[in-house]
Amino acid sequence: MEELNKLREIYKLKNVERASHVKRRQESAAEHSWSALMLADYFLTKDLDRLKVYELLMYHDLVEIESGDVVITDLEGRKNKKEKESKALEILKRKLPQVIAKKFEQLFQEYEGKTSKEARFAKAIDALDGAIHELDYKEDWKNWTEEFLREHKGPLFEEFPKLKEAHENFLKYAKENGYFD
């Protein structure tokens, strides 16, 4: 039972609120992880390790259990994000079953460092997922401009032509439908 209780720590991701909405409530980081997995499944190509991508996306936001989520437009809050997440990683590792803690640390470092093609793909999927989600919540588009999204998200898609095309289509759609107004 001790190991199961330690696993419950992961379930706390369901309680981490993101700036995004779902109906009249905040989206959870766990919901975002699920939709990112679905989006990755759609865009995955044969030259990527599917399981690795899934694992990277499953674990990528776990640090937020301890550090919380910081929205992309909060430039001030993002200044010490890496430091906060490093501390959160250390705290969370002590709370998880050892086998999960080890895997989590390795995947988190790979994801954050973008040290593999799969990690770079997962980062791009993470960025695209947030954007696609927000198409249903125009009221959340505070401080989002086409230029901001091109600068902060655009570079993530360069390596992946289908994702780059999807991002361009997203920006075109958003512009034509008044999301940037």
Single pTM value for the model: 0.92
Phi, psi for residue 64 in degrees, rounded to 5: -70, -15
53-97: per-residue pLDDT in tens? 999 999 999 999 998 787 777 677 778 888 888 999 999 999 999
CA distance 135 to 93: 35
- For residue 146, give every residue at least 6 positions away whose Cβ sits within 8 Å of its Cβ, in sequence order, or none: 171, 174, 175, 180
Domains along the chain? 2-176 (1.10.3210.10)
